[in-house]
Amino acid sequence: MSASTSTWNARRTELELPEEIDLQVELANVGSRTLAILVDLALGGLVLFIVYALTMLVAHDVADDWLTRLSSNALKTLLILLIFGFQWCYFNIFEWMWNGQTPGKRLLHLRVIKVDGSPVSGIDVLLRNLSRPIDTLGPMGLIGLLMIFVSRKAQRLGDLMARTLVIHETQIDWSIFDQIEGPEAASSGSATLAAPAIRLAPAQWELLHRYLNRRDQFEGEARRYLALLLHETLKPAVQGTDLALSPLAPEDWLVELARRT
């Protein structure tokens, strides 16, 4: 994997499967895991706030009939249950029912799996989530954060105990594969092209087209920087052709490269 030209700085790990396929997964990084937690916290906090506000409204109602008392008590009980449920049950129930995902994890394409690649079972989910209070000890969950940084497979204490990993599920941009490229293109029409075709390694080709498909989502400095980075990465691949010495700006150079491959 060392020859990879891709620019995602994610760590990958190999999983041992029983039948000699060495599966590779991309480990979720600290940033996306924190973001997923924040989404979950926001969601839970919103629900708690709504019920809390309702409880306060009913409690301060001037009427003192049986209906007010009943609904006030029901709301108080509900609020206590929700606070408890959010602290101890939210992650457990979602990760168990949604096969290792919570709403936050789903939004960020994260999933909890076992170290051997199999889906998590109920007891794994319990183990990793009941130990959450210890992982979130210290300012901003310092212990869990440190563990994710330090441990080889980005596992916090709960993950170590449950033998789980949090992985990032790669989303594929399928549209890049729809264009005809390489020798097929050369034989079908663009033969009038004077310049010789350039062969890129599949990973480089994929990287180039992923960039070209997404470049309109970037603006200004970020877009120029990304183009420059890719220009540097792909330059060795065109060694010996006229493109190596081309004076084009990075982004135009990349477009030209895509046209030639």
Partner 1 sequence: MTLGAFVRKNRPRWQRLETMLGFIETRGPRRTDRPFLRELSSLYRATAGDLAFAQTHYRGTTLLLFLHQLIARAHNQIYRPHRFSARVAGRFFFNEIPQSVRDHLPAVAWSAIIFLMGIALGLSAVQFDERAASIILPSNILNSIYSGQMWTGGIFSVVPAPVASTFLFTSNISVALLAFAGGLSFGLITAWILFQNGFMLGVVFKLCADYGLLGALLEFIAAHGLLEISSIIIAGGGGFVVANALLNPGSHSRGDALAQQGRSAVRMAVACVPALVTAGCIEAFISPSHFPVWFKVALGLTLGVSFWLYLLFTGKASQKAPRSLPKG
- Would you tell me which residues interact with partner 1 (CB under 8 A)? 1, 3-6, 15, 17-19, 21, 23-26, 73, 76-77, 80-81, 83-84, 87-88, 99, 113, 117-119, 121-123, 126-127, 130-135, 137, 157, 160-163, 169-170, 172-174, 176-184, 201-203, 205-206, 210
Distances (CA, A) of 199 to 237, 250, 257: 8, 19, 10
Give CA–CA dist 87/47, Å, rounded.
Answer: 13
Q: Least distance to partner 1 from the beta carbon of 175, Å? A: 11
Asked if 74 and 115 touch (Cβ cutoff 8 Å), the reply is no
What is the separation of C-alpha 102 from the centre of its chain, rounded to a whole number of angstroms?
A: 13
* CB nearer partner 1, residue 43 or residue 143: 143
Give CA–CA dist 149/260, Å, rounded.
Answer: 42
* CB nearer partner 1, residue 23 or residue 248: 23
* CB nearer partner 1, residue 175 or residue 246: 175
Asked if 156 and 144 touch (Cβ cutoff 8 Å), the reply is yes
Q: Least distance to partner 1 from the beta carbon of 85, Å? A: 9
Q: Least distance to partner 1 from the beta carbon of 167, Å? A: 9
Q: Least distance to partner 1 from the beta carbon of 220, Å? A: 26
Distances (CA, A) of 175 to 32, 232, 243: 25, 25, 26
* CB nearer partner 1, residue 47 or residue 83: 83
